[in-house]
């Protein structure tokens, strides 16, 4: 199973972190999948609430996955980390503002990035082994992901104490400090989850809660308030006495990065005044943005995680040497780089700007996304930046969409764009192609660390222009969640049909029905003519009787009858006969590979092949009616 499992179960949207061997550390892709799920479920009527939980006993989520942050930052590339934090913080803000109940089940360690995907929820549940902490100062960062706001809201000066010492909270502490709301023993979580799935009613959480265990931190409140009330970290140190409590607290503060500790005191103070998640995240981002270039982040990770020597050489070696000016410099506004919590605008590569792809790309631009397009025919679309190769259109894109004539072309384009795409990006193929090509391209993308969705469409050129297409999608839940907001722009409906290839399977099965029903609808009109039955009468009966179908009711092949259709426009396509032939061929190819009996589908293919060869090329597929009208019974 993937690192994160996102699905709708009964009445809840459920997110399960699934990297137990890595203590469920949150990768960039996992954070983005959480955001995509929140976007999707915010207005999804089937989802009454969201529940996040995690596999394994040791940890809900021990923090952000810092390996790649370290690799890039230590090579002098600071932009990867900055984007990671920017995008993660936007997700944190969405979670904090999520309009439906958000339940978090937090066993074992919940730290740093793990706090950001849980503790901003509305119903936060802890159990007997829960341990929550914000230990970022230990690696040269500051409490982030909105954690400084949670710290600021903790009673008295607990925020300053927890943020600078990294002290772990047990279940009782977490509730006392405002990082959790409910204590429910772990053995009851399966029952709780089943009840929530069934009812979608958050009061079930209330009903199962038990009295919280004691909070050791609550009993230290008076010391914490007395010694952690200083204006700066150095004020706090100067106020300490020689008691055992102070000695221990000071030792914990001095174990961490001095610059981070000093900045944390300032951040918690600012968060208390701002008291608003997006403003607080912007303050935290000022530090994290500078943490590798001007701070100790790389050295902190090296000492704690990479070399594990626990002997960091901080740029400012002691707290006493950290000046107020240096703290101010780390927290100064970033100008154009300041964090803006706003809707994610995606960078989209679009390959194949033909009859369908052109208007689809245009609709994405109109919705505010940046689209870079490429078409071998040199097509340009207003508002779409033009790249000179498919690989250039795909470089650095969040999503690459392909809208191409067939599977062979899709495979060759995939060979070019997949190596150019950034890790974690999503390849969405909307062309109609064979199931085998769809699965091969999806496998190739997955092997390269990408997500993939096959999402052929129905609705034709009119639907592409009006943004009313229907998407039939195959791929993982996480990949679908990334692509779905774009389907919502280019279309009016998207059905997640299953794993990769399922979208193409749905498309060719649907179009086999369409091809066969169109032929028999045309045959019925041709027969009605010869029986002297008026076409309008025939329509009036069949469109409201058991002979009704989309071909009859919505796309009537008889001119002047039923709603306006290509038959009223001299059978100009619409949906060209040769495209219908292509889809019927794909259906037969799949039927042969799967050993499925489709005699009528096969005959429909043969009839469209004969039609395309005998004058049907370039005509709408409903022009089968005049074609049949000219034939006799035995032909």
Q: Could you list the active site residues?
A: 507
Residue 352 in the binding site for ligand NAD (CB under 6 A): yes
Burial of residue 222 (CB within 10 Å: 0-12, 13-18, 19+) is exposed
Contact 24, 18 (CB under 8 A): yes
- Binder of ligand NAD out of 431, 442, 484, 504 (CB under 6 A): 431
Phi, psi of 372 (to 5 degrees): -115, 120
Enumerate residues 216-275 that contact ligand NAD by CB under 6 A. none
Name the one residue in this structure whose structure tokens are 């942050």: 69
Residue whose CB is less far from ligand NAD, 127 or 427: 427
Residue whose C-beta lies closest to ligand NAD: 354
Enumerate residues 392-421 that contact ligand NAD by CB under 6 A. 403-405, 409, 413
| Piece in contact with ligand NAD (CB under 6 A), picked from 87-95, 455-463, 558-566, 621-629 | 455-463
240: left (phi over 0), alpha (psi -120 to 50) or beta: beta
Give the Cα separation of 40 and 493 in Å (integer). 13
- Binder of ligand NAD out of 1, 377, 531, 597 (CB under 6 A): 377
DSSP code for 306: I
Nearest approach, Cβ of residue 605 and ligand NAD (Å):
15
Residue 354 in the binding site for ligand NAD (CB under 6 A): yes
Residue 171 in the binding site for ligand NAD (CB under 6 A): no
CB atoms < 10 A from the CB of 613, how many?
Answer: 10
- Binder of ligand NAD out of 4, 457, 502, 580 (CB under 6 A): 457
Residue whose CB is less far from ligand NAD, 113 or 573: 573
Residue whose CB is less far from ligand NAD, 197 or 461: 461
Structure-block tokens of residue 501: 């290839």
Strand order from edge to edge, sheet including 59-61: 59-61, 109-111, 131-133
Give the Cα separation of 635 and 621 in Å (integer). 20
Nearest approach, Cβ of residue 409 and ligand NAD (Å):
5
| Piece in contact with ligand NAD (CB under 6 A), picked from 94-102, 136-144, 352-360, 435-443 | 352-360
CA-based nearest residue to 148, from 119, 181, 127, 109: 119
Residue 579 in the binding site for ligand NAD (CB under 6 A): yes
Residue 566 in the binding site for ligand NAD (CB under 6 A): no
Residue whose CB is less far from ligand NAD, 236 or 590: 590
Residue 437 in the binding site for ligand NAD (CB under 6 A): no
| Piece in contact with ligand NAD (CB under 6 A), picked from 291-299, 353-361, 527-535, 611-619 | 353-361
Give the Cα separation of 558 and 522 in Å (integer). 8
Residue 81 in the binding site for ligand NAD (CB under 6 A): no
Three-state DSSP state, 451: strand
Residues that bind ligand NAD (rule: CB under 6 A) add up to a total of 27
Nearest approach, Cβ of residue 470 and ligand NAD (Å):
10
The whole-angstrom distance between residue 373's C-alpha and the CA centroid of its chain comes to 22
Sign of the four-CA dihedral 473, 475, 481, 482: negative
Residue 356 in the binding site for ligand NAD (CB under 6 A): yes
Name the one residue in this structure whose structure tokens are 């509305």: 122
The whole-angstrom distance between residue 470's C-alpha and the CA centroid of its chain comes to 20
Residue whose CB is less far from ligand NAD, 461 or 527: 461
DSSP code for 615: I
Nearest approach, Cβ of residue 421 and ligand NAD (Å):
15
Query: Residue 37 belongs to what H/E stretch?
Result: helix 28-42
Three-state DSSP state, 472: strand
Query: Residue 598 belongs to what H/E stretch?
Result: none
Residue 491 in the binding site for ligand NAD (CB under 6 A): no
Residue whose CB is less far from ligand NAD, 538 or 587: 587
Sign of the four-CA dihedral 74, 62, 39, 284: negative
CB atoms < 10 A from the CB of 216, how many?
Answer: 13
Phi, psi of 256 (to 5 degrees): -95, 180
The whole-angstrom distance between residue 318's C-alpha and the CA centroid of its chain comes to 42
Residue whose CB is less far from ligand NAD, 197 or 409: 409
- Binder of ligand NAD out of 252, 379, 392, 489 (CB under 6 A): 379
Residue 432 in the binding site for ligand NAD (CB under 6 A): yes
Residue 374 in the binding site for ligand NAD (CB under 6 A): yes
Residue 490 in the binding site for ligand NAD (CB under 6 A): no
Give the Cα separation of 356 and 467 in Å (integer). 11
Nearest approach, Cβ of residue 586 and ligand NAD (Å):
9
Enumerate residues 459-478 that contact ligand NAD by CB under 6 A. 460-461
Nearest approach, Cβ of residue 576 and ligand NAD (Å):
7
| CA angle in degrees (0–180, nearest 5) for 222-226-231 | 140
Residue whose CB is less far from ligand NAD, 237 or 393: 393
Three-state DSSP state, 310: coil
- Binder of ligand NAD out of 63, 114, 357, 515 (CB under 6 A): 357
| Piece in contact with ligand NAD (CB under 6 A), picked from 205-213, 323-331, 574-582, 607-615 | 574-582
Structure-block tokens of residue 406: 């067939």
Residue 512 in the binding site for ligand NAD (CB under 6 A): no
Nearest approach, Cβ of residue 377 and ligand NAD (Å):
4
Query: Residue 532 belongs to what H/E stretch?
Result: none
Residue whose CB is less far from ligand NAD, 2 or 379: 379
DSSP code for 20: G
DSSP secondary structure, 173-215, as one string: HHHHHTS--EE--GGGHHHHHHHHHHH--THHHHHH-BPPPP-
Residue whose CB is less far from ligand NAD, 29 or 620: 620
Residue 575 in the binding site for ligand NAD (CB under 6 A): yes
Residue 359 in the binding site for ligand NAD (CB under 6 A): no
Residue whose CB is less far from ligand NAD, 184 or 433: 433
What is the contact surface with ligand NAD in residues (CB under 6 A)? Answer: 351-357, 374-377, 379, 390, 403-405, 409, 413, 431-432, 457-458, 460-461, 575, 579, 582
């Amino acid at each position: 199973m993937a690192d994160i499992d996102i699905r709708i179960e009964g009445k809840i949207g459920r997110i399960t972190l699934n990297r137990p061997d890595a203590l469920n550390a949150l990768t960039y892709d996992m954070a983005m999948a959480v955001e995509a799920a929140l976007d999707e479920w915010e207005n999804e009527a089937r989802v009454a609430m969201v529940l996040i939980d995690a596999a394994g006993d040791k940890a809900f989520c021990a923090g952000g996955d810092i390996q790649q942050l370290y690799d890039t930052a230590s090579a002098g590339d600071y932009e990867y980390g900055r984007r990671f934090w920017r995008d993660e913080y936007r997700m944190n803000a969405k979670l904090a503002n999520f309009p439906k109940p958000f339940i978090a089940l937090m066993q074992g360690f919940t730290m740093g990035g793990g706090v950001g995907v849980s503790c901003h929820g509305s119903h936060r549940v802890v159990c007997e082994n829960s341990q929550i902490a914000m230990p970022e100062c230990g690696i040269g960062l500051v409490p982030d992901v909105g954690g400084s706001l949670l710290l600021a809201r903790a009673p008295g000066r607990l925020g300053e104490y927890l943020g600078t010492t990294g002290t772990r909270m047990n279940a009782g502490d977490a509730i006392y400090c405002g990082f959790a709301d409910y204590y429910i023993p772990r053995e009851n979580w399966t029952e709780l989850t089943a009840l929530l799935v069934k009812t979608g009613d958050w009061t079930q959480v209330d009903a199962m809660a038990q009295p919280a265990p004691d909070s050791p931190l609550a009993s230290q409140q008076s010391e914490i308030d007395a010694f952690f009330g200083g204006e700066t970290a150095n004020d706090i140190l100067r106020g300490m006495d020689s008691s055992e409590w102070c000695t221990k607290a000071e030792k914990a503060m001095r174990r961490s990065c001095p610059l981070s500790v000093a900045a944390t005191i300032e951040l918690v103070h600012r968060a208390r005044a701002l008291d608003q998640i997006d403003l607080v995240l912007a303050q935290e981002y000022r530090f994290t943005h500078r943490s590798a270039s001007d701070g100790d982040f790389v050295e902190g990770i090296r000492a704690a995680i990479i070399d594990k020597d626990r002997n960091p050489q901080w740029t400012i070696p002691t707290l006493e040497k950290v000046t107020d000016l240096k703290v101010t410099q780390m927290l100064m506004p970033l100008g154009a780089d300041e964090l803006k919590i706003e809707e994610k605008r995606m960078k989209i590569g679009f390959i194949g700007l033909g009859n369908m792809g052109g208007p689809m790309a245009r609709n994405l631009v109109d919705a505010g996304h940046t689209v870079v397009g490429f078409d071998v025919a040199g097509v340009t679309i207003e508002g779409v930046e033009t790249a000179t190769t498919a690989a250039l259109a795909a470089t650095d894109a969040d999503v690459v969409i392909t809208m191409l004539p067939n599977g062979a072309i899709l495979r060759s384009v995939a060979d070019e764009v997949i190596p150019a795409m950034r890790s974690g990006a999503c390849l969405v193929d909307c062309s109609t192609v064979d199931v085998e090509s769809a699965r091969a391209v999806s496998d190739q993308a997955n092997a390269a660390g990408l997500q993939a969705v096959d999402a052929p469409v129905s609705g034709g050129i009119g639907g592409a222009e009006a943004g009313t297409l229907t998407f039939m999608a195959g791929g993982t839940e996480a990949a679908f969640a990334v692509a779905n907001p774009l389907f919502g722009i280019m279309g009016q409906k998207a059905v997640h049909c299953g794993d990769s290839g399922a979208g193409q399977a749905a498309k060719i099965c649907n179009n086999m029905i369409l091809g066969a029903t169109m032929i028999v609808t045309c045959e019925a009109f041709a027969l009605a003519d010869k029986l002297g039955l008026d076409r309008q009468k025939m329509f009036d009966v069949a469109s409201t009787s058991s002979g009704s179908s989309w071909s009859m009711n919505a796309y009537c092949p008889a001119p002047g009858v039923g709603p306006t259709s290509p038959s009223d426009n001299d059978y100009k396509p619409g949906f060209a006969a040769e495209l219908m032939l292509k889809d019927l061929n794909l259906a037969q190819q799949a039927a042969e590979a799967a050993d499925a009996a489709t005699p009528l589908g096969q005959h429909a293919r043969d009839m469209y092949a004969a039609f395309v060869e005998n004058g049907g090329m370039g005509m709408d597929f409903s022009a089968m009616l005049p074609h049949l009208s000219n034939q006799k019974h035995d032909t």
